[in-house]
Amino acid sequence: MSDGVSDDGIRRDGTEPVGIDELLERVRSRFDRVGPHEAAAAASDGALLVDIRYAELRERDGLIPGALVVERNELEWRLDPQGSHRARQAVSHDLPIVVICNEGYASSLAAASLHQLGLHRATDLIGGFQAWRAAGLPVVGT
């Protein structure tokens, strides 16, 4: 047994490892994901749009006006309302948050992580930034 996993792939806690597709399915079942127009409407109603795409993609494709840009590796620290490194927008565990990545995969895992911090209204954008742009919604810097 190495790293807590036996030769048959069973962990010490009795669970079997899951692949990324199954993990995505599991985490996505915990919250209602939104489409581009729903995300835009949520932002109009006070939701925080959070762009976690890396700099190269933001430079190449542009930004969603008003979205808070937070690198993925800083997300939890910047959005935890109790954290010492929180963004000024991270005012409450009740804040509606829509996480946006490039195509809607990493954002699902990020939203699940925010749920673990108690940000129970966090969700993500189906299809990510690319779906936003394809829907003809505003983009700046391109």
pTM for this model (two decimals) = 0.88
pLDDT for the residue numbered 86: 96
What is the tens place of the pLDDT at every residue in 45-101?
A: 999 999 999 999 999 999 999 999 999 999 999 999 999 999 999 999 999 999 999
Sequence-separated (6 or more) residues with CB below 8 Å from residue 127:
35, 36, 103, 104, 134
pLDDT digits (tens, 9 = 90+) for 12-37: 676 788 899 999 999 999 999 999 99
Nearest-angstrom CA–CA distance, 117 and 92 = 11
State the average pLDDT for the chain. Answer: 92
